[in-house]
């Protein structure tokens, strides 16, 4: 007999709240309805394992069908099904959870794989439906039940005819949500939310019959890493992320204690990409998609990777959309970070050639990770490498000429301790200077001077991350290291003897350039071919760049023009007429400026004009 009733919730106003606000995206309804079907099958299989139900030999699966003419989307499972009393309890009394009740009854037998709140998940259907029907038959053999409601706090329930156990949900899609009657839309949503669910999911359209499964019931990440091949890892990556560039390498996570965690994190190729490009780390719970890049589980810097993580122990709220605060989540996050650091360290130690080959792709990721996570920095600081002026890779200690940690020994007595203290004070007073290059092309003249002088520098040419990383390294070792860009100063090794001041030359250049802010110095440099170079104080340049970045300052920091007295042109400039002195001095300044920065339109025009003048003079002499 058909009965009428009211859905038992605390207030009539609860239904619109559930429909509109329980989930962040309305298309999640399909995940919830399909996941409920997967739950029902999981429950039935548990009963079969405990000999409380019989296996009929059929395929456990969830079937979806779309009828565009009738404007219905149907999801049907062959799981445990429900009696009339259970429909009343789990559907009309929203506060109850079928999974919670089931687990409490069978907890000794184990309940892994059962996702959760059937009642609340079911009501997500009303986000896209005007009316929803349930046809269900329990495995217990009781009469099948038909339940129906338009979502306005009232329902009807009656016995019906249904073949076989399980539950069929028929959603009458509302006019404004017709997109969910499109086959391609449904396939896309199944791929997004249900691609790894543990039982086959099929879709038929307009009664066309069963298609091939839309999901992978045994994804690679749940397998034992020892059983996975390199080809399988690459195929899984391509299929999951639609990236047809092979990943560099990967980390397979697989642990059961003290929490359950499985997954694969891939290092994608990012070469020639200056900015840090966000990847996609998909979070699953028992093979049910939760969300992308959840920061509570995935540290921010790991979101540069692509990957899949499945953790049944993460504490989700009732909508499965957000994590609840929990210490377990912090432990999971730290473990993931540790495994990534371990993988990088193992690659560095066991295959240095491949590590160096991959460095151009992983350098930004590692540097960003060090800045964001001090624990990660502590684990990888000794495997960070830097390209030198010859294209070789060295560690920071090798660049700075610092002893390795392994060579240090503890002092044997008080005298040794005092000696170490004295040594520490000496190091504090004489911090090592490490020079770096930010633009190999523009700073080519400085690089040549360094190489000719037997000096080295490390290449830090990513404007997005390297300035921050250099500051970070200085912060980590303020008494041992300082960094200076290759154009910051004339190092002693670049000079040919002591400093030499020629006031006449200084005045000639000062007057020719006509810039009161420009400081002019004279030196004898070892490379006589270079007439002059521009230097900028490292600290002032950093402040200036920071100010420009945040819109607090305009203009460039004060520069120093270092005129090379060893250069043949400079050495004869005093013998020239006043007009030629000014011409030559300004041309030398422009050439120095050209090696330092991009010339302004006015400066470039002046350089070209001077070059043409010199060509005309040269032609006239012939």
Same domain, 297 and 398: no
Same domain, 366 and 236: yes
Write down which residue in 205, 229, 256 finishes a domain. 205
- Structural domain contains residue 228: yes
- Return the minimum-mean-pLDDT range out of 28-37, 85-94, 103-112, 135-144: 103-112
Chain centre to alpha carbon of residue 516:
47
| Nearest alpha carbon to residue 213 among 198, 204, 200 | 200
Number of domains in the chain: 3
User: pLDDT digit string (tens) for 54-89?
Assistant: 988 899 999 999 999 999 999 999 999 999 999 988
CB atoms within 10 A of CB 280: 16
Q: Please state, in angstroms and as integers, the Cα–Cα distance from residue 117 to each residue in 27, 29, 125, 320, following that order.
A: 18, 13, 14, 9
Please give the share of the chain, as a percent, with pLDDT higher than 70.
82
For CA atoms 586, 592, 596, 601, the dihedral sign is positive
- In this structure, what CATH number is given to the domain that contains residue 109? 3.30.565.10
Same domain, 375 and 445: no
Pick from 254-258, 263-267, 402-406, 451-455 the range whose average pLDDT is largest. Answer: 263-267
pLDDT at residue 99 greater than cutoff 70: no
Tell me the C-alpha distance between 262 and 287, whole Å.
10
Same domain, 295 and 190: no
- In this structure, what CATH number is given to the domain that contains residue 283? 3.30.230.80
Same domain, 394 and 371: no
Write down which residue in 153, 182, 205 finishes a domain. 205
Please state the three-class secondary structure of 483-532 as a single string: EEECCCCCCHHHECCCCCCCHHHHHHHHHHHCCCCCEEEEECECCCCCCE
- Structural domain contains residue 210: no
Q: What are phi and psi of 244, to 5 degrees?
A: -90, 5
Same domain, 30 and 108: yes
Same domain, 162 and 254: no
156 close to 92: Cβ distance less than 8 angstroms: no
Q: What are phi and psi of 464, to 5 degrees?
A: -80, -40
- In this structure, what CATH number is given to the domain that contains residue 498? 1.20.120.790
pTM for this predicted structure? 0.79
* pLDDT for 316: 65
What average pLDDT does range 438-452 have in this prediction? 89
Which H or E run contains 172? strand 166-173
pLDDT at residue 12 greater than cutoff 60: no
Query: What is the band of 564 on the pLDDT scale with cuts at 50, 70, 90?
Result: very high
pLDDT at residue 291 greater than cutoff 80: yes
Which domain does 579 fall in, by range? 386-621
User: pLDDT digit string (tens) for 295-309?
Assistant: 778 888 888 899 999
* pLDDT for 606: 82
- Structural domain contains residue 414: yes
User: pLDDT digit string (tens) for 299-343?
Assistant: 888 888 999 999 888 776 544 555 555 677 888 889 999 999 999
Same domain, 268 and 360: yes
Same domain, 460 and 522: yes
- Structural domain contains residue 105: yes
- Structural domain contains residue 327: yes
Same domain, 10 and 132: yes
- Return the minimum-mean-pLDDT range out of 349-363, 366-380, 583-597, 604-618: 604-618
56 versus 547: the higher-pLDDT residue is 56
* pLDDT for 5: 72
- Structural domain contains residue 363: yes
Same domain, 549 and 427: yes
Query: What is the band of 458 on the pLDDT scale with cuts at 50, 70, 90?
Result: very high
- Structural domain contains residue 215: no
What average pLDDT does range 98-120 have in this prediction? 48
pLDDT at residue 134 greater than cutoff 60: yes
* pLDDT for 298: 83
Write down which residue in 174, 205, 236 finishes a domain. 205
What average pLDDT does range 165-191 have in this prediction? 95
* pLDDT for 412: 44
262 close to 219: Cβ distance less than 8 angstroms: no
Residues in the chain: 622
537 close to 557: Cβ distance less than 8 angstroms: yes
CB atoms within 10 A of CB 425: 11
Please state the three-class secondary structure of 6-36 as a single string: ECECCCCCHHHHHHHHCCCCCCHHHHHHHHH
Query: What is the band of 193 on the pLDDT scale with cuts at 50, 70, 90?
Result: very high
- Structural domain contains residue 212: no
Same domain, 474 and 342: no
């Amino acid at each position: 007999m058909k009965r009428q009733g009211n859905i038992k919730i605390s207030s009539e106003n609860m239904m619109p709240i559930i429909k509109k606000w329980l989930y962040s995206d309305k298309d999640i309804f399909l995940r919830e309805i399909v996941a409920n079907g997967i739950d029902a099958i999981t429950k039935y299989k548990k009963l079969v394992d405990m000999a409380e139900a019989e296996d009929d030999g059929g395929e456990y699966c969830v079937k979806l069908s779309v009828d565009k003419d009738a404007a219905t989307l149907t999801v049907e499972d062959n799981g445990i099904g429900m009696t009339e009393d259970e429909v009343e309890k789990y559907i009309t009394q929203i506060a109850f959870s079928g999974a919670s009740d089931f687990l409490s009854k069978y907890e000794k037998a184990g309940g892994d794989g059962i996702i959760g709140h059937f009642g609340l998940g079911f009501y997500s259907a009303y986000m896209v439906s005007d009316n929803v029907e349930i046809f269900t038959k329990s495995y217990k053999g009781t009469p099948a039940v038909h339940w129906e409601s338009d979502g306005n706090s009232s329902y009807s329930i009656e016995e019906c005819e249904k073949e076989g156990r399980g539950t069929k949900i028929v959603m009458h899609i509302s006019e404004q949500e017709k997109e969910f009657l499109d086959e391609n839309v449904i396939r896309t949503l199944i791929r997004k939310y249900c691609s790894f669910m543990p039982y086959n999911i099929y879709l038929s359209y307009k009664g066309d019959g069963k298609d091939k499964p839309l999901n992978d019931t045994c994804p690679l990440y749940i397998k034992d890493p020892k059983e996975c091949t390199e080809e399988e890892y690459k195929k899984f990556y391509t299929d999951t992320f639609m990236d047809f560039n092979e990943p560099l390498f990967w980390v397979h996570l697989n642990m059961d204690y003290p929490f359950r965690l499985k997954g694969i994190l891939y290092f994608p190729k990012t070469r020639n990409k200056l900015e840090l490009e966000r990847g996609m780390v998909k979070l699953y719970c028992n093979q049910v998609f939760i969300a992308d890049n959840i920061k509570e589980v995935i540290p921010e810097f790991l979101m540069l990777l692509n990957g899949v993580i499945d953790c049944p122990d993460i504490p989700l709220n009732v909508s499965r959309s957000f994590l609840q605060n929990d210490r377990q989540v912090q432990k999971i996050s730290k473990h993931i970070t540790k495994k990534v650091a371990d993988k990088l360290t193992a690659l560095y130690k066991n295959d240095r050639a491949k590590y160096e080959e991959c460095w151009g792709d992983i350098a930004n990721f590692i540097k960003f990770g060090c800045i964001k996570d001090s624990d990660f920095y502590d684990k990888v600081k000794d495997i960070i490498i830097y390209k030198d002026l010859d294209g070789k890779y060295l560690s920071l200690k090798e660049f700075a000429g610092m002893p390795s940690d392994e060579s240090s020994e503890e002092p044997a007595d008080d005298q040794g301790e005092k000696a170490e203290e004295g040594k520490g004070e000496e190091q504090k007073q004489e911090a090592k200077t490490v020079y770096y290059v930010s633009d190999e092309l523009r700073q080519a003249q400085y690089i040549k001077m360094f190489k000719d002088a037997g000096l080295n520098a490390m290449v830090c040419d990513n404007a997005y991350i390297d300035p921050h990383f250099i500051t970070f390294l200085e912060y980590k070792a303020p008494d041992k290291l300082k960094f200076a860009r290759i154009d910051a100063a004339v190092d002693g090794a670049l000079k040919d003897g002591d400093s030499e001041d020629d006031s006449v030359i200084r005045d000639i250049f000062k007057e020719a350039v006509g810039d009161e802010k420009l400081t002019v110095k004279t030196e004898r440099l070892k490379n006589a071919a270079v007439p002059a170079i521009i230097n900028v104080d490292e600290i002032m340049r950093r402040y200036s760049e920071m100010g420009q970045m945040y819109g607090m300052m305009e203009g460039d920091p004060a520069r120093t023009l270092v005129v090379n007295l060893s250069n043949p042109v400079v050495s004869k400039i005093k013998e020239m007429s006043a007009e030629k002195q000014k011409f030559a001095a300004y041309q030398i300044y422009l050439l120095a400026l050209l090696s330092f920065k991009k010339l302004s339109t006015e400066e470039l025009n002046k350089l070209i004009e001077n070059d043409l003048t010199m060509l005309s003079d040269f032609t006239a002499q012939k």
